[in-house]
Amino acid sequence: MALTPKPGQADVHTISWDRFEMLDPTTVRIYFMAGVEPCNVLDHTKVVYAQEIIRVALFMGSDPAHKDAACPMLARMAYTDVKLSEPVGSRDVVDDTTTD
């Protein structure tokens, strides 16, 4: 399932991702496990470029308009496409769950 970031979520935090694939030299598809909306909503991504690696962090939150929503304990594989400002080239793309 494709997820597009929706900024403005509540209780935003980093989540780990499982793997990535290159769609083109400047676009990576990041795969991760996600719950269902409105309890789990992709808020934004953050990319940090270094000489030998590119760090990608995913930030998940919940929809503040549905504070009292019942949240089923379901997980599904999801993905989001991240457009990079630099080509990956020979660099590794790594999960950056330590980014704030």
Written as tens digits, the pLDDT of the chain (100 aa) is 999 999 999 999 999 999 999 999 999 999 999 999 999 999 999 999 999 999 999 999 999 999 888 888 888 999 999 999 999 999 999 999 865 5
**11-15 long-range contacts, Cβ below 8 Å, gap at least 24?**
11/61, 11/62, 12/43, 12/44, 12/59, 12/60, 12/61, 13/59, 13/60, 13/61, 14/57, 14/58, 14/59, 14/60, 14/96, 14/97, 14/98, 14/99, 14/100, 15/58, 15/59, 15/60, 15/97
pTM of the model: 0.91
> Which pLDDT score, from 0 to 100, does residue 72 have?
84
- pLDDT at residue 74 in the model: 85
Which pLDDT value is given to residue 99? Answer: 57
